[in-house]
Amino acid sequence: AVQLVESGGGSVQTGGSLRLSCAVSTSIRRGVCLGWFRQFPGKEREGVAAMDSDGGTTYVESVKGRFTISKDNTNNTLYLQMNSLKPEDTAMYYCAAEIWGEVGCYMDHEQVPGYQWRGQGIQVTVSS
pLDDT in tens, 2-28: 999 999 999 999 999 999 999 999 999
pLDDT at 87: 97
Is pLDDT of 102 > 90?
no
Give me the chain's average pLDDT, please.
96
The answer for residues whose C-beta is within 8 angstroms of residue 54's C-beta and 6 or more apart is: 104, 106
pLDDT at 126: 98
pLDDT at 67: 98
pLDDT at 101: 81
Tell me, rounded to whole angstroms, the distance of Cα 4 from its chain centroid: 11
Is pLDDT of 51 > 90?
yes
